């Protein structure tokens, strides 16, 4: 009798151990992939789909479940590449090299023709994912008949988005931080900032008119100006309005001795972009406050931000969520990746819609606590896209991971 009881206790203990082990294993996975060690809202998890990229900057989910990733590699010219990730058995993706030797690839989007459009320094190219080498063609710059993008100075990377008509909005970032001169010399407050003025201005969004199906550029214009660096662009799903998240300047404390540092100033911005509007860079910051280098500037004529974002959050990618896979509260919210390495960066947030559908409601943290930990570096999200499956896909360039935000299995 004692032997039987002892065996029964041993069996129960073994079963409990197996159950605990299974629970621990489940807690370490997300949709069959390794779970990223971060905080997410209840019911959601972040899966690591792939890692080991050098400097992943762009992602485009495809209808068949494949992913295309643009890897800049580093800041040196002609080191970048584009990869195809194909779902495979056992919770992994197979990698196929599509293109290499590219000049700092960053933005990648799916065009109205089903082809991929890739932003390089000074150029935009398109290609067919099934035959990339043979179909690679310049749309802007390169061997096209269209003048190259400026690609100058501090903000030379290309980001872009197509609107519903197939026209292309393209970021032309500023060459400087705040129009400083050589060796960081302060600009002359009595003179306009040369790089921010005129038809070839930097710190603008250009709109290129395209003729389809050839994707032929028929002309372009400066759509909006006074925008330091428009890496994060998104079209509202209901109104078609263009929204932009601007990266604020650095080192403002150098011109404002009353500040100990620039940790909380200036704010980054969320702007509703309107044709012909000027948003104030480099003359004004925050809600139309004169920059310390231009203390007498009248900022009332510039377009104020629709929303102030945390200082140095560095939004580099965003998308409106139109799917049904995530909880209903996130529908039509603007999902933004905060790339910055300071206190407000390294996270993913959802800006919920207000009563009019604009992304001006509550900010909800979707991925947080993305700090450096044993076996996992700090996250620095860049491109953010919604997949055809209704999940959110992103790449981050600090540890080279591809991440999927999804509903956790019960």
- The pLDDT value given to residue 182: 86
Over residues 138-193, the pLDDT tens digits come to 999 999 999 999 999 999 999 999 999 999 999 999 999 999 998 889 999 999 99
φ and ψ at residue 143, rounded to 5 degrees: -90, 5
The answer to which of 17-26, 75-84, 140-149, 159-168 has the lowest mean pLDDT is 17-26
The residues that bridge with 245 in the sheet, in sequence order, are 232, 270
What is the rounded radius of gyration, in angstroms, for the C-alpha atoms of the chain?
A: 23
Q: How far is residue 275 CA from its own chain's centroid?
A: 23
With 0-12 CB in 10 A as exposed, 13-18 as middle and 19+ as buried, what is 125? Answer: buried
Q: What angle do CA 99, 102, 105 make, to 5 degrees?
A: 100
The confidence band for 34, taking pLDDT boundaries of 50, 70 and 90, is very high
SS3 399: coil
Show the tokens assigned to 119: 């932003």
User: In order of start, what are the domains of the chain with their CATH numbers?
Assistant: 34-182+193-407 (2.120.10.30)
Whether the predicted pLDDT of 375 surpasses 90: no
Mean pLDDT for 22-48 is 85
**Among 337, 332, 357, which Cα is nearest to 349's?**
337
The residues that bridge with 87 in the sheet, in sequence order, are 93
**Among 126, 315, 304, 130, which Cα is nearest to 208's?**
126
Over residues 302-358, the pLDDT tens digits come to 999 999 999 999 999 999 999 999 999 999 999 999 999 999 999 999 999 999 999
Whole-number Å distance between alpha carbons of 47 and 219: 42
Mean pLDDT for 241-267 is 96
Cβ density class 256-275: b for 16+ within 10 Å, e for less: eeeeeebeebbbbbbbbbee
Mean pLDDT for 125-147 is 98
Over residues 180-209, the pLDDT tens digits come to 998 889 999 999 999 999 999 999 999 999
Cis peptide before 240 (omega within 30 of 0): no
């Amino acid at each position: 009798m004692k032997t039987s009881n002892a065996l029964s206790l041993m069996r129960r203990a073994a079963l409990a151990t197996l159950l605990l082990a299974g629970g621990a294993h489940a807690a370490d996975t997300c949709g069959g992939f390794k779970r990223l060690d971060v905080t997410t809202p209840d019911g959601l998890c972040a899966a690591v789909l792939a890692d080991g990229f050098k400097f992943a900057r762009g992602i485009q989910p495809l209808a068949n479940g494949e992913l295309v990733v643009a890897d800049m590699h580093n800041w040196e010219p002609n080191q970048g590449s584009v990869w195809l990730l194909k779902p495979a058995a056992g919770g992994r993706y197979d990698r196929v090299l599509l293109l290499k030797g590219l000049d700092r690839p960053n933005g990648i989007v799916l065009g109205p023709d089903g082809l991929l459009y890739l932003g390089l320094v000074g150029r935009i190219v398109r290609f067919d994912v099934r035959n990339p080498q043979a179909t690679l063609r310049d749309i802007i710059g390169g061997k096209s008949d269209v003048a190259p993008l400026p690609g100058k100075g501090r903000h030379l990377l290309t980001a872009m988005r197509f609107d519903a008509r197939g026209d292309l909005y393209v970021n032309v970032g500023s060459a400087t931080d705040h129009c400083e001169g050589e060796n960081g010399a302060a600009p002359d407050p009595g003179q306009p900032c040369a790089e921010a003025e005129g038809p070839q201005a930097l710190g603008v969004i250009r709109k290129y008119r395209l003729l389809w199906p050839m994707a032929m550029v028929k002309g372009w214009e400066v759509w909006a100006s006074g925008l330091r660096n428009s890496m994060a662009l998104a079209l509202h799903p209901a109104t078609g309005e263009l929204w932009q998240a601007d990266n604020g300047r650095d080192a403002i404390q150098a011109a404002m001795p009353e500040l100990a540092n620039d940790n909380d100033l200036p704010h980054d911005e969320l702007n509703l972009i309107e044709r012909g509007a000027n948003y104030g860079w480099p003359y004004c910051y925050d809600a139309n406050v004169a920059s310390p280098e231009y203390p007498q500037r009248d900022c009332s004529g510039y377009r104020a931000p629709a929303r102030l974002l945390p200082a140095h959050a560095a939004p580099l990618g965003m998308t409106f969520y139109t799917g049904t896979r995530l909880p209903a509260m996130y529908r039509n919210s603007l999902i933004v990746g905060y790339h910055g390495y300071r206190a407000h960066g390294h996270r993913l947030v959802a800006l919920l819609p207000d009563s009019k559908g604009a992304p001006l409601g509550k900010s909800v943290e979707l991925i947080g606590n993305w700090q450096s930990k044993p076996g996992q570096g700090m996250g620095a999200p860049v491109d953010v896209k919604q997949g055809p499956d209704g999940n959110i896909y992103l790449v981050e360039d600090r540890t080279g991971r591809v991440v999927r935000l999804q509903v956790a299995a019960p």
